[in-house]
């Protein structure tokens, strides 16, 4: 009788779910004409290829950093974190980020996960929701019980304030997890993300970002 690796099967289910969530999140903010990049992502059969394709599309909205040698894409898994470095198709700079989905058992269905990416002068932390918030929304984000003002950035993600960038670098690697609650317009979305392996993922991210 064949032996089924339950951990591997569960990981594939989670990957498929995350792909669907990212697809919906991105497609809900495109214009009436279909985004050719998202359309191409939907045609891919391989789960890893689809996930990378959606991440590339999302990273078009990130701050740009120095190009990688040769201009080739760089995507890899660091523990439970995903590192992606996306070349600019017009040449020049590229986008760099690490992402991790929320824990399915301890997060609302509307919570996708968090993204930490290179920004102009530091890293920045973003909460990603299944239903993107409108550009003029002014969400309140509760992080480990402390309230902060969030800011909407394309494609409808919630950027956390700069002080949380410092916390992400110095305090979060020492914590087992981080809890978030996004409140806006009378609605609330809760999520929890495990932080194991964040120190290694941050090291990869920050060494790829421009020199500070």
> In the chain, pLDDT over 90 holds for what percent of residues?
46
SS3 category, 55: helix
More confident residue, 182 or 20: 182
Q: Provide DSSP, 17-51.
A: HHHHHHHHHHHTTS-SSPPHHHHHHHT--SHHHHH
CB within 8 Å of 138: residues ≥ 6 apart: 149, 150, 184
Whether 153 and 178 have beta carbons less than 8 Å apart is answered as: no
pLDDT classification of 33: cutoffs 50, 70, 90 = very low
pTM, two decimal places: 0.69
Structural domains present in the chain: 63-208 (2.60.40)
What pLDDT shows up at residue 43?
A: 67
> Tens of pLDDT along 128-147?
998 889 999 999 999 999 99
> Tens of pLDDT along 159-187?
999 999 999 999 999 999 999 999 999 99
Looking at residues 103-119, what average pLDDT do you find? 92
């Amino acid at each position: 009788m064949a032996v089924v690796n339950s951990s591997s099967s569960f990981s594939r289910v989670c990957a498929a779910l995350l792909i669907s969530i990212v697809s919906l999140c991105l497609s809900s903010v495109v214009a009436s004409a279909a985004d050719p990049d998202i359309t191409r992502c939907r045609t891919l059969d391989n789960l890893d290829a689809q996930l990378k394709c959606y991440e590339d599309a999302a990273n078009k909205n990130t701050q740009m950093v120095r190009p990688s040698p040769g201009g080739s894409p760089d995507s890899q898994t660091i523990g439970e974190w995903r590192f992606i470095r996306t070349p600019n198709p017009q040449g020049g700079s590229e986008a760099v980020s690490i992402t991790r989905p929320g824990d399915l058992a301890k997060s609302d269905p509307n919570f996708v996960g968090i993204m930490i990416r290179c920004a102009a002068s530091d890293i920045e932390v973003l909460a990603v929701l299944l239903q993107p918030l409108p550009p003029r929304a002014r969400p309140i984000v509760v992080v480990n019980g402390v309230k902060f003002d969030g800011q909407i950035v394309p494609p409808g993600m919630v950027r956390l304030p700069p002080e949380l960038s410092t916390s992400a670098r110095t305090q979060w690697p020492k914590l087992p997890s981080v809890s978030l609650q996004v409140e806006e317009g009378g609605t609330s979305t809760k999520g929890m993300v495990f932080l194991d392996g964040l120190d290694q993922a941050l090291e990869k991210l920050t060494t790829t970002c421009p020199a500070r």
